[in-house]
Amino acid sequence: MSLILKKIDGYPTLAVIILSLIGAVDSAYLAWLKITGSVAACSNVGDCNAVNSSRYAEIGGIPIAFLGLLGYLAILGLTVFEVRFPNWKEGLHLAFFGFTLAGTLYSIYLTYVEVAILRAICPYCVISAVAMIGLFIIAIYRLRSVTASE
């Protein structure tokens, strides 16, 4: 519980944990859909199946949602390491920034694919993109606080 209540550079660890968990659960669900060939529970909001069954939903046969899950878990792991090993803060901030930058850029690309190429929106993909952008904003804030203290 102390991990959740502890603050990193004035920004609550809780925000990072919540966004990482939202992204991880969302990505795990999409990966499960892709692997099992199940139909997404999208109701009448968007077209998850068109997006998740497109050729853009895999890289080398690996569902991109699974790669997203690994990314969110890595971000969560970096946060835990930062709390446990405060002397590694600078390097961990850079790694956190790198993961969230890559995730945000890829989310932007995938959103472009959804809108411009597939002409279908997957609400779960939007949730993942919003979570990653939120993490990226936190990463920028944290990186700026490290460089400002030097």
Secondary structure (DSSP) of the chain: -HHHH-EETTEEHHHHHHHHHHHHHHHHHHHHHHHHTPPP--TTSS-HHHHHTSGGGEETTEEHHHHHHHHHHHHHHHHHHHHH-GGGHHHHHHHHHHHHHHHHHHHHHHHHIIIIII----HHHHHHHHHHHHHHHHHHHHHHHHHHT-
Instruction: Report the predicted TM-score, pTM, of the whole model to 2 decimal places.
Output: 0.88
Tokens for 123, please give them: 């609400």
Give the pLDDT confidence score for residue 19 in this predicted structure.
Answer: 96
> Are residues 110 and 56 in contact, defined by beta-carbon separation less than 8 angstroms?
yes
Q: Does residue 141 have a pLDDT over 90?
A: no
Give the pLDDT confidence score for residue 3 in this predicted structure.
Answer: 52
Give the pLDDT confidence score for residue 62 in this predicted structure.
Answer: 95
Q: What is the topology classification, in CATH, of domain 11-148?
A: de novo design (two linked rop proteins) (1.20.1440)
pLDDT digits (tens, 9 = 90+) for 39-77: 888 877 788 889 999 999 999 999 999 999 999 999 999
Position 118, amino acid: L
Q: Does residue 2 have a pLDDT over 60?
A: no
Residue boundaries of the structural domains of the chain: 11-148
For residues 21 and 119, what is the distance between their CA atoms, to the nearest angstrom? Answer: 28
Tokens for 98, please give them: 């790198």
Q: Does residue 129 have a pLDDT over 90?
A: yes
For residues 131 and 119, what is the distance between their CA atoms, to the nearest angstrom? Answer: 22
pLDDT digits (tens, 9 = 90+) for 23-47: 999 999 999 999 999 988 887 778 8
